[in-house]
Copies of this chain bind each other. A is one copy, B any other.
């Protein structure tokens, strides 16, 4: 197993939403300092999940939604023939588990692909508090809506015709999400394997590898194993738009 460089020693979590490092993401965004204090009362537990362990599995009873503080997750579904289909990758600041509200049980397996830490937020308490803090209710709605929109973007990506464009779209999406979290958008390490990317994009790992090489040959990106450097963002975007 590839051991990623250990992330910086798990900084003692500040155990409060008020001075969280991810201000404009998560449930907290746009709340008044007052409401953020309320929010603090809702965050019951921080939980560490080490690489390869799962946060919850499909079918587990729904208990809470989770905000990622650090690390990466993948969500996947095991098909009846045993193969696993990856539904998405998730990074710090993103919220997972919203799919579990409807049926009262989670619908995906959620696995850390890097040592990770999450805040667990019991939804029942959120709904209770949302009674008083109207903004919190509204924020929750926006969050869920955003998840729907994100899934739809993935659908477009998967509908995309050629493999090269799918991978380009995948990289562009990752880059955008890194940027939104204040990280460099054009130079990063992929937290997932070629096989996982392939499962997500509906391609084989060989094709993913070939498309990385192709993008490299076309001087759109540099690739060294999992390290990616985007050389020509504009051309990448064009590729996405065009052949999508």
Residues in A lying within 8 Å of B, measured CB to CB: 77, 79-81, 85, 87, 98-103, 107-108, 123, 127, 130-131, 134, 137-138, 140-149, 151-152, 154-156, 158-161, 199, 202, 241-242, 244
Contacts and interface: CB of A to CB of B under 8 A. Distances in A.
Given A79-B244, A127-B134, A137-B130, A148 B144 contact: yes
22 contacts: A79-B156, A79-B244, A80-B244, A85-B156, A85-B159, A101-B144, A101-B145, A102-B143, A102-B145, A102-B146, A102-B148, A102-B149, A103-B146, A127-B138, A127-B141, A130-B137, A137-B137, A147-B148, A148-B151, A151-B151, A154-B155, A161-B202
10 A-B pairs with the lowest CB-CB distances in the bound complex, closest first: A102-B145, A101-B145, A151-B151, A102-B146, A80-B241, A158-B158, A144-B144, A159-B202, A102-B142, A99-B148
A77 B199 CA distance: 24
B158 A107 contact: no
A87 B155 contact: yes
Contacts of A102: 142-143, 145-146, 148-149
Contacts of A103: 145-146, 149
Q: Binding site of A, secondary structure by majority: helix, strand, loop or mixed?
A: helix
B156 A77 contact: yes
Contacts of A147: 148
Given A98-B148, A144-B145, A158-B159, 9 more contacts: A80-B242, A80-B244, A81-B241, A99-B145, A102-B146, A102-B149, A123-B141, A131-B131, A137-B137
A33 B100 CA distance: 27
A123 B138 CA distance: 10
A131 to B, nearest CB: 7
A199 B99 CA distance: 26
A206 to B, nearest CB: 15
A146 to B, nearest CB: 4
Contacts of A202: 158-161
A99 B156 CA distance: 15
A101 B147 CA distance: 11
